[in-house]
């Protein structure tokens, strides 16, 4: 990976990086914060939402004071492959913020023209994790969190790959993309018309089906932390956290939903509670 910018923040080092991805066949970008000291440190992966790049979290979340105090590396990848010649651009108008570049939905596309490049699940759980463990002083343990589309990604990747993550949390996640317009549009394009294949990428349906088990059958996550603003304009039509709560209750999965009065969908919301999430993950990452 090549560093394009480096900053010192709260005693640690923040790097913007790029690399040629074997998974997406494109250049990918990300940011990595490493606290002061020799380490090794556990890792928190952050997945951002629609229209975002790695820069939104990096510049707006205010996460690095808490990460420095807790001794966590934070990794924030871009939300999709990008490029002027990228397959998919011709069918995804740049004005369509909810499909194509900036809207990878953390799935591996199977449909034309998306399949060659839009492979964000494999990128995160295989290539990105391997690159971070090889290039930084990690303990090779990690947790995952995200916002909106990235909250959907954090939940589904953790539930689909529980052996990789110690804990999972989300801000305003798309809780059930098979039952909202954002998800239906993206899944039709990326995964095809067969809706039965979509359920494997729907957090509420995964929880209800008992996903999130480590090998041997033990539950991977003692709790799932969700923060949701009650003034979020997307709450009713797109996010639907009540479906996730109902699924967790049916499956016996502990889930903490904190409805935050007056908060919206912006990074002001995340900046207000990011330290709680970092503490939530640090507790579990430091417990073997």
DSSP assignment of 208-241 equals HTT--BPTTS-BS-S-EEEEEETT-TTIIIII-H
Which pair of structure tokens corresponds to residue 265? 């969908």
- How far is the C-alpha of 48 from the C-alpha of 68, rounded, in Å? 21
pLDDT band with cut points at 50, 70 and 90 for residue 92: very low
DSSP letter (8 states) at residue 124: I
Select which of 227, 232, 277, 281 is catalytic: 232
Written as six digits, the tokens of 53 are 């790049």
Predicted TM-score of the model (pTM): 0.95
Q: In the predicted model, what is the mean pLDDT of residues 182-191?
A: 96
If pLDDT is split at 50, 70 and 90, which confidence band does 90 have? very low
Beta-carbon-side half-sphere exposure of residue 62 (alpha carbons within 13 Å): 10
Look up residue 122 and give its two tokens: 């494999």
Q: Cis peptide before 40, with omega less than 30 degrees from 0?
A: yes
Respond yes or no: is residue 230 known to be catalytic: no
Per-residue pLDDT at 154:
98
Per-residue pLDDT band at 287 (split at 50, 70, 90): confident
Active-site residue, 148 included: yes
Helix (H, G, I), strand (E, B) or coil at 70: helix
pLDDT at position 91: 44
Give the active site residue among 31, 143, 145, 148: 148
The set of residues, in sequence order, having a beta carbon less than 8 Å from that of 114 and lying 6+ positions away, is 87, 88, 189, 190
pLDDT tens, residue by residue, 31-65: 999 999 999 999 999 999 999 999 999 999 999 99
Q: 81-85, 137-141, 278-282: which range is least confident on average?
A: 81-85
Residue in 152, 201, 265, 277 annotated catalytic? 265
What is the average pLDDT across 174-193? 97
> Rounded CA gap, 115 and 106, in Å?
13
Give the gyration radius of the chain's Cα atoms.
18
Q: Give the pLDDT score at 88.
A: 53
Mean pLDDT of all residues in 244-251? 96
The answer to whether residue 100 scores a pLDDT higher than 70 is yes
- β-pairing verdict for 255-260 and 224-229: parallel
pLDDT at 220: 85
Who wins on pLDDT, 86 or 188? 188
Q: How far is CA 17 from CA 30, 56, 79, 81, 123, in A?
A: 5, 15, 14, 14, 15
Is the per-residue pLDDT at 13 higher than 70?
yes
Tokens of 162: 């529980």
**Position 115 pLDDT exceeds 50:** yes
Q: What rounded mean pLDDT belongs to the chain?
A: 94
Query: Which element (helix H / strand E) includes 58?
Result: helix 54-60
- Residue 265 annotated as catalytic: yes
SS (HEC) of 156-211: HHHHHCHHHCCCEEEECCCCCHHHCHHHHHHHHHHHCCCHHHHHHHCHHHHHHCCC
pLDDT band at 260 (very low <50, low <70, confident <90, very high): very high
pLDDT at 215: 64
């Amino acid at each position: 990976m090549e560093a394009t910018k480096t900053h010192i923040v709260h005693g640690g080092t923040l790097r913007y990086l790029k690399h040629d991805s074997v998974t997406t066949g494109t250049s990918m970008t990300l940011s990595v914060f490493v606290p002061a000291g020799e380490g090794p440190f556990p890792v928190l992966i952050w997945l951002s939402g629609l229209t975002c790049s790695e820069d939104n979290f990096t510049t707006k979340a205010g996460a690095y004071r808490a990460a420095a105090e807790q001794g966590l590396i934070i990794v924030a990848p871009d939300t999709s492959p990008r490029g002027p010649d990228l397959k998919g651009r011709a069918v995804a108008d740049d004005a369509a913020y909810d499909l194509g570049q900036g809207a990878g939905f953390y799935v591996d596309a199977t449909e034309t023209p998306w399949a060659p490049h839009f492979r964000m699940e494999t990128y995160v759980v295989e290539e990105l994790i391997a690159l971070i463990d090889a290039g930084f002083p990690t303990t090779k343990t990690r947790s995952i969190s995200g916002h909106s589309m990235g909250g959907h990604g954090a939940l589904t990747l953790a539930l689909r790959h529980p052996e990789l993550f110690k804990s999972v949390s989300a801000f305003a996640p798309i809780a059930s993309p098979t039952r909202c317009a954002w998800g239906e549009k993206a899944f039709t394009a990326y995964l095809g018309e067969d809706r039965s294949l979509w359920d494997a990428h729907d957090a509420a349906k995964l929880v209800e089906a008992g996903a999130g088990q480590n090998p041997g059958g033990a539950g991977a996550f003692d709790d799932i932390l969700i923060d949701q603003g009650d003034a979020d304009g997307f709450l009713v039509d797109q996010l639907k956290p009540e479906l996730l709560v109902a699924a967790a209750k049916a499956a016996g999965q502990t889930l903490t939903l904190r409805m935050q009065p007056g908060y919206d969908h912006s990074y002001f919301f995340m900046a207000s509670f990011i330290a709680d999430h970092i503490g939530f993950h640090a507790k579990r990452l430091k417990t073997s």
